[in-house]
């Protein structure tokens, strides 16, 4: 069982718990992006198993009115085993989602996975359309990637980037990353037609997106993590499309630990929970 201290950031260990979290979040006007925790498998069996779990989750959501979709990690579906294994498992998940009328996001991991991830997205975007991919503003290559993606159907999520790429490949200064995010977001509002996902908890970036939408009219949604600034999520949902990224599963400890370390307010929450 997930302790309450971690339950703020993780939607349970089981599918029923994840679906119940989805129902409760939907009642607050917020959609849910479900992600089964698991990554960096170096054997095929666990990658195949997680792909099958996603397919069963899609079947469980069939016939419900849940506002929910999936997000998968390439290394979870076997990219560290081989690109062929990743492609095969991703195809299984996307085909199941297509059968049940659900959307699939493909997460972006560290810089070594970018080409394989974008190639797989392009294939499924052309075949199915209801897929999305994430790009990271801190990578210097992302401007060229955005130009490539502008010609494809599907959606693109822009985040600042949580990994630590080599200095020659990435912007390291926080202000420079913010500048890149702003520039990339404007480029996406100008060039994209199918919609943009603003993956940020930064009020300045969300306000920038609002201004760009007013200027260019491109549809967009806001995506935030479960447990992070949930008051803002609910407030924004009154006049924006807001989605919450909600992980679930028994591999919750490492994810919870990362959330606590990355923001002072998360650390304060954890300390208060322990003291109480």
148-201 confidence digits (pLDDT tens):
999 899 999 999 998 889 999 999 999 999 999 999 999 999 999 888 999 999
The total domain count for the chain is 1
* pTM of the predicted model as reported, rounded to 2 decimal places: 0.91
Which of 107, 145, 178, 259 is labelled catalytic? 107
Residue 37: domain span: 4-275
The verdict on whether 45 is a catalytic residue reads no
Q: Which of 14-28, 148-162, 219-233, 252-266 has the lowest mean pLDDT?
A: 252-266
- Residue 128: predicted pLDDT: 82
Residue 126 near residue 152 (C-beta atoms within 8 A): yes
Residue 212 near residue 191 (C-beta atoms within 8 A): no
Q: What is the pLDDT of residues 251-272, one digit of tens each?
A: 756 665 555 555 455 445 444 4
Degrees, nearest 5: CA angle 200-243-218: 75
Which of 50, 157, 178, 259 is labelled catalytic? 157
Q: Please report, for the domain that includes residue 54, its CATH number.
A: 3.20.20.220
Question: Measured between alpha carbons, how far apart are the two ends of the chain, in Å?
Answer: 19
Residue 138 near residue 171 (C-beta atoms within 8 A): yes
The verdict on whether 87 is a catalytic residue reads no
């Amino acid at each position: 069982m997930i302790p309450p201290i971690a339950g703020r950031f993780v939607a349970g260990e089981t599918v029923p718990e994840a679906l119940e979290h989805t129902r409760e979040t939907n009642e607050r006007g917020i959609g849910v992006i479900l992600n089964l925790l698991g990554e960096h498998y170096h054997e095929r069996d666990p990658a195949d198993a997680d792909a099958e779990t996603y397919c069963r989750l899609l079947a469980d959501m069939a016939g419900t009115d849940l506002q929910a979709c999936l997000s998968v990690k390439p290394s979870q579906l076997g990219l560290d085993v081989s690109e062929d294994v990743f492609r095969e498992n991703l195809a299984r998940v996307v085909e199941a989602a297509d059968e049940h009328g659900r959307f699939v996001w493909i997460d972006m991991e560290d810089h070594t996975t970018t080409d394989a991830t974008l190639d797989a997205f392009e294939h499924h975007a052309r075949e199915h359309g209801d897929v999305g991919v994430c790009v990271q503003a801190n990578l210097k290559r992302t401007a060229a990637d955005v130009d490539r993606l502008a010609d494809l159907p599907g959606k693109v999520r822009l985040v600042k980037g949580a990994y630590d790429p080599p200095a020659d490949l990435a912007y390291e200064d926080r202000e420079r990353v913010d500048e890149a995010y702003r520039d990339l977001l404007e480029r996406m509002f100008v060039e994209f037609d199918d919609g943009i996902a603003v993956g940020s908890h930064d009020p300045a970036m969300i306000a920038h997106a609002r201004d760009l939408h007013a200027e260019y009219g491109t549809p967009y949604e806001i995506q935030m993590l479960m447990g992070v600034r949930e008051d803002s999520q609910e407030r924004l949902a009154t006049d924006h499309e807001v989605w919450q990224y909600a992980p679930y599963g028994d591999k919750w400890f490492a994810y919870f630990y990362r959330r606590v370390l990355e923001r002072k307010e998360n650390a304060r929450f954890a300390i208060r929970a322990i003291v109480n």
